[in-house]
Structure 1
Amino acid sequence: MALRRPPKLLREAPVDEMALELEPASEGEEVIWDYRSLGPTLRSHPLKLLRPRLDERKFATAEELMQMPNGRVVHYRDIVTLRQQTGMAKRVVFMSLENETGNVQVIIWPSVRDAQRKELLHSRLIAVHGIWQRQDEACSMIAGRLEDLTPLLGELETSSRDFQ
């Protein structure tokens, strides 16, 4: 009955159906549905839900990176939100990554870009292994190696803004 309105003749007829009660969706399912229908979500950040699996690999969070000194070797992973390559930057790619604790900017030099083109262009969840660069309040990561972790997102569909 809930699927379509009955014909006029049957609108006053009694309905003898049990009420259908569904179990509530898990938080992960709700996040996936939000991303599919709206893009972002006001629920938990997807990486917060993946935190136990990611912590096994000892990846730093954005919050932890912001406390690290210049020149530290770091391992970081996040959802890709932006990729940009400008002609004036001599083929350098700038990538923005996001997790539940903040955002991190990554600089990918042409040698890494050319060697790991597939990971750079197709990863939605990416691990970056490289050097943390800090000058006063300006912070970024210099990528040494990229790793595609997209399969960990399961059915979650994310997209980035990509510019040339």
Structure 2
Amino acid sequence: TPATIVKDARRHGVKVKPVCVAQSDWNCAVVADDTIRLGFCVVNGLQREHADDFLRERNERPFVSLGDFRKRALLTKDELRRLANLGALNCFAEHRRAAMWRVEETPHYDLLTTAGSGSARVSPRQSSKSPQKRDAFGPSRTGGSTRDACATQNSPLAPMTLPERVRADYEVMELTTGPHPMKLVREQLADIWRATDLAEAKHGSIIRIAGNVICRQRPGTAKGFVFISLEDETGVSNAIVTPDLFEQSRLLITEEPFLAIEGEVQNTDNVVLIKAQKIFPLISDGLVGSESHDFR
């Protein structure tokens, strides 16, 4: 999945920058030897033609404020909400909820249009500086601000917490440039082995692994055995499930997005596979992940 590709890239030292209306293109792009920028193509619910339209506007003249962006970008309210929710408007606001608050405001130019006339575009041609960069997972790295000069008050909403930002990313993009969801709950999982540590597991010992289910496979040549791949913040661990255990836990295995698996370590030349003995759902408020690639 795109989420797994992004996490694997980050584990290999690649910096992945978030979607930003001032910086992103439609496609994800390489912006430096070790850096990529996510594109609008990963935003669920954003129509390609709408994105192309405001990208043409931005190429002609950079957006200078959220009000300017709303005026010149022909986006639906739902599309604006999605961009605000994932942090793509943070270049014009202090944080995501501040952007979400301002997206719900009625722009001054809307008050001057005839009711029911739709979203009219007004494209003033005054020159201005391009917006300053602001990362979706942190404060601005510059001292300047691109918030609208006409804003009369700050948002009354508190900034999202880190888990809330990760959840919002998965809701809109099914991936995140923030920490892996498993990292957010790691302190609660004292008896769970991380994927990166499995090479040290003793052959034949009984351990537990856990993570976001990214793949379920049941090859026709495997005599009913099922292979499950679990992703955590350090990598991917793999488990094998016998036909009998699969039948006992079929619904759990096929429906739960996060699993914990207890089983026997099969460590051959540092290639580790866990032969499952018990399978549990991994449930926590901080856990939200991507969909898996499964047998059908």
Measured against the shorter chain, the TM-score band is: 0.7 to 0.9
| Partner residue in 1 for 2:284 | 152
- Normalising to structure 2: TM-score of the pair? 0.49
Task: Check the 8 A contact 1:79/1:125 in 2, yes or no.
Answer: yes
Match of 2:188 among 34, 45, 53: 53
> C-alpha displacement at 1:69, in angstroms?
2.2
| Partner residue in 2 for 1:41 | 176
> C-alpha displacement at 1:158, in angstroms?
3.3
Q: Which has the higher contact order (CA 8 A, sep 6+)?
A: 1
Task: Check the 8 A contact 1:82/1:95 in 2, yes or no.
Answer: yes
| Partner residue in 1 for 2:250 | 117
Task: Check the 8 A contact 1:125/1:153 in 2, yes or no.
Answer: no
Name the CA distance, whole Å, in 1 between partners of 2:286 and 2:234: 21
| Partner residue in 1 for 2:225 | 92
1:20–1:140 distance in 2 versus 1, CA, 3 Å: same
SS in 2 for 1:152: coil
Name the CA distance, whole Å, in 2 between partners of 1:84 and 1:101: 22
Code of the residue aligned with 1:18 in structure 2: it is Q
1:13-47 deviation digits (Å, cap 9, x = unpaired): xx783233543211101100111111111111111
Structure having the larger proportion of residues in strand: 1
> C-alpha displacement at 1:64, in angstroms?
2.3
Aligned positions of 1:1-164 closer than 5 A: 2=102, 3-5=105-107, 6-7=109-110, 9=112, 17-20=152-155, 22-55=157-190, 58-149=191-282, 151-153=283-285, 156-164=288-296
SS in 2 for 1:95: strand
Name the CA distance, whole Å, in 1 between partners of 2:151 and 2:273: 64
Name the CA distance, whole Å, in 2 between partners of 1:39 and 1:148: 20
Among the aligned pairs, what percent are the same residue?
A: 28
- Normalising to structure 1: TM-score of the pair? 0.85
Task: Check the 8 A contact 1:107/1:140 in 2, yes or no.
Answer: yes
Unmatched segments (≥5 aa) in structure 1: none
Task: Check the 8 A contact 1:132/1:140 in 2, yes or no.
Answer: yes
1:46-105 deviation digits (Å, cap 9, x = unpaired): 1110012222xx111112222112111111211111101111111111110010111111
SS in 2 for 1:142: strand
1:27–1:7 distance in 2 versus 1, CA, 3 Å: closer
Unmatched segments (≥5 aa) in structure 2: 1-66, 68-101, 114-121, 123-149
Q: CA RMSD in A?
A: 2.4
Task: Check the 8 A contact 2:212/2:289 in 1, yes or no.
Answer: no
| Corresponding residue pairs, total | 158
> C-alpha displacement at 1:117, in angstroms?
1.1
